[in-house]
Amino acid sequence: MASAARLSPTANLLRKSRLFALPQALTPVEAPTSRPYAESDTATRPHPIRASIVTPASSLARGDWGLKRPLPAKSTSQKSSRPVVRINELDTFEHVTDFESASDHTVTLEKFQELHMPISLPAKVHFSSNMVTRHHSVFDQDVDNTEASENIDQPDIKQIRHTGPWLSGLTDAEFAAYLKKVQKQKPQLVFKLRERFLEKRMAEIRNQAQDKGEDLENLPAPTEEDFQTYLKTLRADPFALGPVVYELLDLPATAPVPNERMPKKYYQSPPSKMASPEYVTSGPPITHPSAGLSYARSHASIYNHPQYGPQAHPRPVEARILRPRGRVRGKSGKPILGVGGIAVEDTSTIAFSEQGGPAGLSAFDPSIPGGARYHVTPIRAFVGSTGRISLITNRATTNAKAPYGIKDHKAAKSSPQRYTSFDLRASDRRVPRLDRARTFSKPATGFEQPEKSTEDVAKNLLRTIKSQ
C-alpha cells in the first residue's frame, strides 16, 4: 500500500465531490413517426432525465446547494417549503447556473409510493371486460433477466433486454449504421454459427446412432462441406434463416406477420423471449420494468383500520376528472382521471349517470366546488416500454369508503327550464340559431307559444346588444 500513488489535492477533491457523483442526463426517447407531432416545452416529461438535488435546511438558508455558486432564495426557499432542483447547466456563458424546480417528478414519486402498489408486468387492458389482469411481479426470477444473467440459457426463462436493437423501432439511418456494424463482425458471426452447427449436427448423429444401436464412441464428425451446404440451405430459405439471424445477433422478436403476408416469403421471427407480450409490439423497456418506483412484489398486505380492523381494500384515493366522458373525434371517449399525478383512463364498464354516478363524469360541471372528483381503488400499476406509468383503477365501492367516512359529490337534479318571456333578456346568455325558427316548450299556463321568425329573433338580439 505504501507504493500506491498518492492522489493530488485536486483529484482527491473531485473524488469526494458530490457534484461529480451526479449521473449524466438521459437522452429523451421519442417514438419515430411520420405524422405531425406537437409537444409543449413546458409540459412535464413522462419520466425524469436529470437527477434531483436537495440540500439541508442549514445550507438552504445560505443558498448553498453544493454547486459552484449559491442559488437565489426567491426561486428556491421562498417559492416552496421543500425545494428540489435539477441542474440543466452548471455554468453558462453568462456565468449563471441554469436550474429549475424538480418537484414535478419528486412529488409524483411520493404520491405513487403512498398508494403502496407493486409494479406488474405490462398487460393489455380489455375495456369491454370486467376481468382484471393477472399480477406478475417484475422481480420474479423467470422474467427479471438480461443477456448477462446466469440462467438465461434455460428454456422457460424470459428476459427484459437483448444485446441487439429492436428492428421495428429503428429509423432508416439507424438501420443502415447497424448493418455496417454487423458487416464488420462477419468473421466472428460465421465462427459462432459454425460452432452451433457442429453442436447441433453432432447431437443429431448421436441420436441416429443411438436409435440404430451403433457404437457412440467413434462417430463421424461433420465436415466443412456439410457446413457450406448448411449455409446454402439457409440462404435459399428465408423462413429458416430468420430464427438463426435473430439468435446470432440476439435481437428481440418482432410483431407477428400480418395475414396478407403469410403466403409470401418472409424472415420468420423466433418465439419471443421477452418478459411480456406487450414488449413485442411496443419494444423492449428503456429502463427496468419497475423503474425504481416500488420494490414490493405482491399485494399481500393487510390494511388495518384503527377502529374497524383489517380491511379487504386499501383506503380509496381521490381522483380528479381531467376530461369528462364525451365524443372525441366522432367517437365516444373515455374519461381521463388524475390519480396521484398520473393521467389514467377510466376503464370501468359501469354506465354512470348523473343521478347515480359521480358528478361531472358525463359532462363538465362548473358548479362543483373544487372541481369534479370521485374516489377510486388502484388495482394494477406497470411501466410501459417508453417509461410511462400506467394505472388501472376501479370505482371505490361503498364498503371501501364506509370506514373512512368518504362520500362523493352527488350531481344536482336538473329541472326543465321554462321561459316566461318571449323576448331575449340581458340575463339570458344563450345565442339562438338564426337558420331556423325556434320552438318553445309549453309554459305553466298550458297554451302554446307562437313561433318567432328569423327576422324577429335578429331584431331582438341586436336590441339586447345595444342596450348592454
User: Which DSSP string corresponds to 437-463?
Assistant: -B-PPP-TTSPPPPPBPHHHHHHHHHH
- How many whole angstroms separate alpha carbon 410 and alpha carbon 392? 24
446 — pLDDT class (breaks 50, 70, 90): very low
- How many whole angstroms separate alpha carbon 449 and alpha carbon 454? 16
Residue-level pLDDT at 172: 87
9 — pLDDT class (breaks 50, 70, 90): confident
Sheet-wide strand order for 373-383: 342-345, 336-339, 317-323, 373-383, 389-395
Residue-level pLDDT at 351: 47
Mean per-residue pLDDT, 274-289? 88
Identify which of 219, 400, 217 has the alpha carbon closest to the alpha carbon of residue 318. Answer: 400
2 — pLDDT class (breaks 50, 70, 90): very low
Mean per-residue pLDDT, 288-307? 89
- How many whole angstroms separate alpha carbon 226 and alpha carbon 204? 13
- How many whole angstroms separate alpha carbon 315 and alpha carbon 376? 9
Residue-level pLDDT at 383: 92
Q: Which residues contact 359 (CB under 8 A, 6 or more apart)?
A: 365, 368, 372, 374, 408, 409, 410, 411, 412
Lowest-pLDDT choice from 25-29, 32-36, 70-74, 222-226: 32-36
pLDDT at residue 178 tops 90: yes
Angle at 426 between CA 420 and CA 431, to 5 degrees: 85
Looking at every residue in the chain, the average pLDDT score rounds to 80
Q: Which residues contact 319 (CB under 8 A, 6 or more apart)?
A: 337, 338, 339, 344, 373, 374, 375, 376, 393
pLDDT at residue 465 tops 60: yes
Contact assessment for residue 86 and residue 93, using Cβ atoms and an 8 Å cutoff: no
Residue-level pLDDT at 126: 66
Residue-level pLDDT at 441: 47
Mean per-residue pLDDT, 334-357? 72
Identify which of 142, 151, 106 has the alpha carbon closest to the alpha carbon of residue 121. Answer: 142
366 — pLDDT class (breaks 50, 70, 90): confident
Identify which of 378, 347, 391 has the alpha carbon closest to the alpha carbon of residue 130. Answer: 347
Identify which of 205, 254, 255, 246 has the alpha carbon closest to the alpha carbon of residue 226. Answer: 205
Lowest-pLDDT choice from 41-45, 153-157, 327-331: 327-331
Mean per-residue pLDDT, 382-388? 89
- Would you tell me how many other CB atoms lie within 10 Å of the CB of residue 357? 19
- How many whole angstroms separate alpha carbon 269 and alpha carbon 253? 6
Q: Say whether 384 sits in a helix, a strand or coil.
A: coil
Report pLDDT digits (tens) over 94-121.
Answer: 888 899 999 989 999 999 999 989 999 9
Report pLDDT digits (tens) over 211-257.
Answer: 877 777 777 788 888 888 988 888 888 888 888 888 888 888 887 77
Contact assessment for residue 119 and residue 383, using Cβ atoms and an 8 Å cutoff: yes
User: Which DSSP string corresponds to 119-172?
Assistant: -B------TT--PPPPP-BTT-TTTS--TT-TTTTSTT--BS--SS--GGG--H
Contact assessment for residue 156 and residue 328, using Cβ atoms and an 8 Å cutoff: no
Q: Which residues contact 218 (CB under 8 A, 6 or more apart)?
A: none
Cell numbers 448553498 label which residue? 64
Residue-level pLDDT at 317: 92
Mean per-residue pLDDT, 411-434? 48
- How many whole angstroms separate alpha carbon 42 and alpha carbon 45? 9
- How many whole angstroms separate alpha carbon 400 and alpha carbon 316? 7
83 — pLDDT class (breaks 50, 70, 90): very high
Identify which of 118, 115, 155, 153 has the alpha carbon closest to the alpha carbon of residue 135. Answer: 118
Mean per-residue pLDDT, 323-328? 76
Long-range contacts of 144-150 (CB under 8 A, 24+ apart): 144/275, 144/289, 145/275, 147/250
User: Which DSSP string corresponds to 54-99?
Assistant: ---HHHHTTT--SSSSPPPGGGTTTT-SS--EEEEESS-TTS--EE
Contact assessment for residue 69 and residue 97, using Cβ atoms and an 8 Å cutoff: yes
Instruction: Provide the β-strand partners of residue 343.
Output: 338
